[in-house]
């Protein structure tokens, strides 16, 4: 989506993919800056490492706890986060509602994108927040961040075994929006995210992952079977990309051009 946007705007640049080993993010970012890069997107599992590697962190990225967009400006690395703002824009496009009016459950809430979305929902003043995670690691950190930045939100935590069975089914019965912040669903053989029958027709289901060619993820299949409204991660990816573009070039992103380029690439 970025290369069509660059061509459309007449910008003499190219977007490329570079694989970076864990533990080498800081070194890589310095090399990118020295080589004349304009900006960088950072994906899993590097978002936490990037937070500590940049020279300056945007206040929202600091609040959300991760950096996934880096701007190189006057030799300095400026870190931003497009997960939270991109999520808000994607929810509005997909469902026509504001997160502030919704009761929200987030699966995989302690990871980079899941945590950013959890914080963004809390900052927006969502009506209820249920945070679901397989492991207890980072629970205290996430709880402390929520208490600091959104003290009016009192989240419900479902950890480990609570993810399965009657407990999660009862909690999901009391929410409107269910967000998959895990990487589960990219492969057909991935383990089920939710117990059978836990999705209802009134649910809004937001899957942060997607499969090429528009194939439904496992969660997407369950949502459609339940008659629930569903969107996969392509809409989020689009709005994340647009936000990154605007940070790098200080101009509105050509959203329709980026959408068409993204769809062409996914269907190739």
Give catalytic residue positions: 47
Q: Give the CA distances from residue 258 to residues 3, 6, 41, 240, in Å, rounded to whole numbers and listed in that order.
A: 8, 9, 16, 11
* Helix segments in the chain, DSSP class H: 2-8, 25-34, 47-53, 59-64, 83-95, 112-124, 139-149, 166-172, 218-226, 234-249, 255-267
Integer angstrom CA distances of residue 175 from 124, 166, 170 = 16, 15, 9
Nearest Cα neighbor of 205 from 167, 171, 232 is 232
Q: Count how many residues are written for the chain.
A: 268
């Amino acid at each position: 989506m970025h290369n069509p946007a660059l061509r459309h705007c007449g910008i003499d640049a190219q977007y490329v993919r570079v694989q970076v080993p864990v533990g080498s993010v800081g070194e890589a970012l310095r090399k990118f800056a020295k080589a004349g890069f304009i900006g960088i997107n950072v994906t899993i599992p590097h978002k936490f490492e990037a937070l500590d590697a940049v020279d300056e962190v945007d206040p929202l990225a600091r609040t959300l706890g991760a950096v996934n967009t880096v701007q190189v400006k006057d030799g300095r690395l400026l870190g931003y986060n497009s997960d939270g703002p991109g999520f808000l824009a994607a929810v509005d496009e997909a469902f026509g509602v504001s997160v502030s009016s919704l009761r929200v459950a987030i699966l995989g809430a302690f990871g980079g994108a899941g945590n950013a979305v959890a914080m963004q929902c809390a900052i927006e003043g969502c009506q209820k927040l249920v945070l679901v995670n397989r492991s207890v690691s980072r629970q205290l950190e996430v709880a402390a961040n929520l208490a600091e930045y959104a003290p009016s939100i009192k989240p419900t935590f479902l950890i480990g075994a609570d993810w399965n069975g009657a407990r999660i089914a009862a909690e999901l019965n009391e929410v409107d929006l269910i967000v998959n912040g895990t990487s589960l669903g990219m492969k057909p053989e991935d383990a089920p995210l939710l117990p059978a029958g836990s999705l209802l027709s009134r649910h809004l289901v937001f899957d942060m992952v997607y499969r090429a060619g528009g194939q439904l993820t496992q969660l997407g299949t369950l949502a459609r079977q339940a008659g629930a409204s569903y969107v996969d991660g392509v809409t989020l990816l689009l709005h994340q990309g647009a936000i990154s573009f605007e940070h790098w070039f200080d101009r509105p992103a050509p959203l329709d051009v980026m959408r068409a380029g993204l769809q062409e690439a996914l269907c190739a």
